[in-house]
Amino acid sequence: MTALRWDRLGLLDLGVPIGPPWTTSHAMLPTPDVRADGTVRLYFSSCDATGRSRPYVVDLDPADPTRVLAPPRGPLLELGAPGCFDDNGVVATSVVHVPGGPIHLYYVGFELCVGVRYRLFTGLAISTDDGATFLRHGEVPVLDRTSAERLFRCGPYVRYEGGRFRMWYVGGGGFTDVGGKQLPAYDIRYAESADGIHWPDRGELLVAAREPHEHGLGRPYPFGDDGRLLLSVRDRATGAYRLGCAVRDGAGGYERRDADVGLTTSDGGFDDEAIMYLAVAETPAGTLGFYNGNGFGADGIGVVRLAT
């Protein structure tokens, strides 16, 4: 297995500046969905003046993936009701077309706490009109807290294969001190479901953070047919995300091979301090990657194309 090679295409032009009146800041967690006509529908989340996120969507030109066909629309979902798991933020992370049925939109719900800074669990919204609108499946998470994963069951990537829903996600139960700030500690887990709604209480641990240098692994994204799993790595030394990679080993586990991602921070620009949340899609314009840079997407969404 050789390292991936990417051509940087720059920041995605959303057609409107990130900011008032449609939002206040950020375009986070880009999540591509390739439509039947080849159009790339890109989901992302943006923040209001208090830093609370809501999901939006924009369609990209299949021939030029840095150009949008129309300005973003949304929010697709509002914040949850007071006291719900998603009353302080909604971040879309995975889109699944159920054969002959609806579209499942899996998202992370943010809930502020007192004893710890926050909790993150996974919600589900469903569209029956081909993605024009979404309605919550319920006011409680489909991945809720358990004794094994008390604080974090979030960041899912879900696909439907062989009559089952397969989920790669982030799970954990604690915070750790990084430079005097409490930050989450979590690893990459895996679970399966018959209906995409009911999931086991505990996921299989796939890839663990490598202490003492790392304290968390986020945004798992399977890519290719060779068992490659793209990751976002929270590093203690830099205090910022870097991209990582894990590949299947001969024993059925995963081996870290971060250099194989082939994409790191730039020498200058929106991604010269941090790079994270890479998601990949096969499109008419080639294999494209969408990611965030400094400040968790403060400047928007970066686009890369896999070199041939």
Question: Cβ of 254: how many Cβ atoms within 10 Å?
Answer: 20
In a domain, 139, yes or no: yes
Two tokens, residue 98:
């159920």
Report yes or no on 292 lying in a domain: yes
CA dihedral 201, 207, 209, 215 (to 10 degrees): -40
Cα angle 278, 292, 49 (rounded to 5 degrees) comes to 135
Q: How high is the pLDDT of residue 234?
A: 92
**Cis, bond preceding 184 (omega within 30 deg of 0):** no
Neighbours of 266 (CB within 10 A): 14
Q: Is 230 left (phi over 0), alpha (psi -120 to 50) or beta?
A: beta
Q: Is 95 within the bounds of a domain?
A: yes
Is there a contact between 256 and 1 (Cβ–Cβ < 8 Å)? no
| Pairwise CA distance, residues 187 & 278, whole Å | 17
Whether 167 is in a domain gets the answer yes
Residue 270 domain boundaries? 6-306
**Strands 152-161 and 118-127, sheet pairing:** parallel
**CA 166, 143, 274: angle at the middle one, nearest 5?**
80
Q: Is residue 1 part of a domain?
A: no
Predicted confidence at residue 224, as pLDDT, reads: 83
Spatial neighbors of 179 by CB under 8 A, at least 6 apart, are 236, 239
Please name the amino acid found at residue 289. G
The pLDDT assigned to 1 comes to 66
pLDDT in tens, the chain (308 residues): 688 999 999 999 999 999 998 899 999 999 999 998 888 999 999 999 999 999 999 999 878 888 899 999 999 999 999 999 999 999 999 999 999 889 999 999 999 999 999 999 999 999 999 999 999 999 999 999 999 999 999 999 999 999 999 999 999 999 999 888 898 999 999 999 999 999 999 999 999 999 888 999 999 999 987 789 999 999 888 878 999 999 988 777 899 999 999 999 999 999 999 999 999 999 988 999 999 999 999 999 999 999 97
DSSP assigned state of 258: G
Is the residue at 71 inside a domain? yes
Is residue 151 included in any domain, yes or no? yes
- Neighbouring CB atoms inside 10 A of 111's CB total 18
In this predicted structure, what is the pLDDT of residue 169? Answer: 98
In a domain, 274, yes or no: yes
CATH code assigned at 122: 2.115.10.20
Give how many domains the chain has, as a whole number: 1
